[in-house]
Amino acid sequence: MKISYQYKIKPTALQVEKIDKTLEKLRCQYNYLLAQRFNWYDFNRCPIDRCPLICHIPELKEQPNYYNQKASLTKLKIDRPWYKDVHSQVLQEAPKKVELAFDRWLKGDVNGKK
């Protein structure tokens, strides 16, 4: 006979408020990092696949990736002191999730649609 236990967490009103604020900050950070990647993608994408002999190709921006977005978190805590309330390892999960989401979006589904 297997026995399993189920626990219910009942946070206090103060804890609920802190959880909500933390999740809101993480949501904003996730959306900002994802927007950085989509802006890079839109800026560096070109609908023309060939050009005449003389054409101007703009300088490409550096692609945001997991490591440089993760490195920007130290500056984030300096610029926005309210992010100091969020634990650093929790903040580091946002770039990881953005990396996964953006790579899956680029890859597309079975039919190749994004």
- pLDDT at residue 58 is higher than 80: no
What pLDDT does residue 114 have?
Answer: 64
- Nearest alpha carbon to residue 94 among 57, 55, 53, 66: 66
pLDDT in tens, 15-43: 999 999 999 999 999 999 999 999 888 87
**pLDDT per position as a tens digit, 59-81:** 677 888 899 999 988 898 899 99
Query: Of 29, 23, 36, 38, whose CA–CA distance to 80 is shortest?
Result: 29
- What CA–CA distance (Å, rounded) separates 71 from 67? 6
pTM of this prediction exceeds 0.85: no
